[in-house]
Structure 1
Amino acid sequence: MQPALDIELNQPPEDGITKITFLPQDNLLLASSWDTSVRIYDTLHNSLRLKYNHKASVLDCCFSDNLHLFSAGIDRGIIMFDVAGGTEIPLGSHNEPVRSLVWDPTSNALLSGGWDLTLRVWDPRSQDRQVGCYQQPERVYAMDLTGNYIIVGTAARHVWIWDLRHMNEPVQRRESSLKYQTRCVRAFPDGDGYVLSSTEGRVAMEYIDPSSEVQAKKYIFKCHRVNIDGIDYAYPVNTIAYHPIQGTFATGGGDGHVCIWDGKHKKRLAQLRKYPISISSVDFSSDGAYLAIASSYTFEEGEKDHPPDKIYVRSLNTFM
């Protein structure tokens, strides 16, 4: 890939892009969409390498390695796709749409969160597939894994933290520090806490240790806001991704901007150019050299005409 600022990928999804994530092989990018597709792009050659479809819109995707993909969404079913064999393997299903998927490399298990108020654990190697089902306080909207902890953000602003070694009950039951609906949860690289975003144009830096000394370090900041004629418009913060080396993180908002933050020093480092429409998902490559950006309307302003969905890959050689 040449060190240009932005490369627009060919053959993007035809409806809302729900997730983009780099595979361990850094030139490969996985994408899921409301158009029912899951795609792998070769960003080095700007080509669509693989595509398969669900029966309905796909809300999330992830991977265990370059050859095994997972996806789920509105049709309630979870698919494992074997890239080498080109085969789809059904893992199981929820009773309602599946919103979030996370792969746990320690236990070689897939975690899924659904609108049926459950967190489920799947072992692709076992005959029964599903090895655990755990009730959540509300519909699952976002999840992330840090060490042995899975952080689950649900409707009604609940945040439950589970220890995967002892799943009889959550180790912490919290209420979001943010006043409005949770959009994204991302764990700190060091495992000490997590970043939480919402529909109100705010981000919360939270810590897992419940001691008063540690909790005193948490804070909230405003972002993805636009002032028009003296009126402050707040946009949803749809997506968060950590840089794998520097520990900074990117946020993408309904204002069409991507911002880069230094959470420890409470500073915004940069705001990238405005993209055609909302930023629905971002992800850094594992070597930290590229940032993938999904520009896709997320309906924060209701039904309206909007630019087509696009995926950009930005070289960070001249930026970070």
Structure 2
Amino acid sequence: MSSYNRPGASASNEAPKDYEVPHGPSDSVSGVAFSPVADFFTVSSWDSCVRIYEANTTTGTAIGKALYNHDKPVLCCAWSKDGTKVFSGGADNAGRCFDITSQQVGQIAVHDQPIKCIRYIENHNLVLTGSWDKTLKYWDMRSSTPVLSVNLPERCYALDFSYPVLVVGCAERHVQIYDVNKDPRTPVKSLISPLKWQTRCISTFLSRSGYSIGNAERECTGYAIGSIEGRVGIQYFEEKDSQSSFSFKCHRENNHVHAVNAISFHPTYGTFSTAGSDGTFNFWDKDSKQRLKGFSSIGGPITSTTFNSNGTIFAYALSYDWSKGLITQPPRSAVFLHAVKDEDVKPKPPKKR
């Protein structure tokens, strides 16, 4: 959408000077996730490991705290709401839980094919897994069989959850929206993505007031969806005069179009980041339809991003994302911590035309 100030004018892009997390993965990073209650974060990787770090907000550094393994590449990671457990899923078709207090790990889920997405479902104390076997499964960690199994129209590629709304992006551009309180089996809406190419990432968002009051009254009002074609769609569940769904181009340079690999919403302001195969990340305001801040390329694709609980740290992963197929020298894998400046993520009034 032309009303966005899109990347392209390199003079406005700042080169990130960020802290590299030590002892990082030896293969591509599939996920980075911050604890919702502390400055601990987890990194899942194709080297079959899940690493847990503690970030020091005073010094801007991080230290490794724990590591556990899957039998094959790890494709996703998430935290429990209280920050005591880490969940992960992988190409070994297994979901695992690591207890921060006891340092014990155990298998809590299984699918017929790799687990691509995992989330903790608050208020129900369940873990949700989404798989390439075209199912969602809800797990009580005390049982080896799922509480509920839900069939999807296609393979699960991406999902996000803001209680009680679950949005799932599948192959062939299918999007399924559920209300887990009303009926987790049947989607409230079954849609085709507004974007014309394969879905890469989905992130739900709250109403602006939901952020400003500290999420005390969470109202999930829509989701952002990113595709391999350098485009993001902002989709509202209910269309109103003051807010209508739209899409915009990003992560494009001249004639080169790059995948949007990650979208993360700021926990305080409700603005959001995008990161892509071009190695750049940007901060945006969907309400005023403008880019707030752009950063130049870090030299390789960014595969995952996350904000910490108060939005002062932005973590992102440098990794090869297979956007160019098999290559002889993929970029190294690393995770960086970016100190977020308030002026870079705070909403701004719409530009005058």
TM-score by length of 2: 0.84
User: What runs of 5+ residues in structure 2 fail to find an aligned partner?
Assistant: 1-15, 208-219, 345-353
- Map 1:28-43 onto structure 2 (within 5 A): 28-43=40-55
- For the pair 1:251 / 2:268, whether they are aligned, the reply is no
Q: How far 1:85 sits from its partner (Å)?
A: 1.5
1:297–1:309 Cα contact (<8 Å) kept: yes
- Answer whether contact 1:68 1:81 (CA < 8 A) is retained: yes
Partner deviation per Cα, 1:176-205 (whole Å, 9 max, x = no partner): 000111000100122111000010000000
* Per-residue deviation, 1:132: 0.3
What displacement does 1:20 show? Answer: 0.4
Residue of structure 2 equivalent to 1:104: 121
Q: How far apart in 1 are the matches of 2:343 and 2:30?
A: 26
* 2:176 match: secondary structure: strand
Q: What fraction of aligned residue pairs are identical, expressed as a percent?
A: 34
Q: CA deviation at 1:43?
A: 2.4
RMSD of Structure 2 on Structure 1 (CA):
1.7
Deviation at 1:129, TM superposition (A): 5.0
| Cα drift, residue 67 of structure 1 | 2.2
- Structure 1 range deviating more: 266-275 or 130-139: 266-275
Deviation at 1:216, TM superposition (A): 7.4
Unaligned residue ranges in structure 1 (runs of 5+): none
From 157, 163, 169, the equivalent of 1:153 is 169
Match of 1:239 in 2: 262
Counterparts of 1:172 and 1:214 in 2: how far apart (Å)? 21
Matches within 5 A, 1:1-320: 5-44=17-56, 45-64=61-80, 65-124=82-141, 126-165=142-181, 166-190=183-207, 191-209=220-238, 213=240, 217-227=244-254, 232-304=255-327, 305-317=329-341, 320=344
Give the match's secondary structure for 1:130. Answer: coil
* Separation in 1, partners of 2:101, 2:337: 25
Question: Bigger relative contact order, structure 1 or 2, given CA contacts below 8 A and separation 6+?
Answer: 2
Instruction: Give the SS at the match of 2:229.
Output: coil
8 Å contact kept, 1:207–1:214? no
Instruction: Give how far 1:88 is off.
Output: 1.3
Greater strand proportion = 1
d(CA) in 1 for partners of 2:326 and 2:335? Answer: 21
1:135-155 deviations in Å (ceiling 9; x for gaps): 000000001112212111000
Runs of 4+ in structure 1 over 6 Å off: none
Contact 2:34 2:79 in 1 (8 A): no
Name the amino acid aligned to 1:120.
K
Contact 1:236 1:300 in 2 (8 A): yes
| Paired amino acid for 1:53 | N
Q: CA deviation at 1:251?
A: 0.5
The count of aligned residue pairs is 310
State the SS of the aligned residue for 2:153.
coil
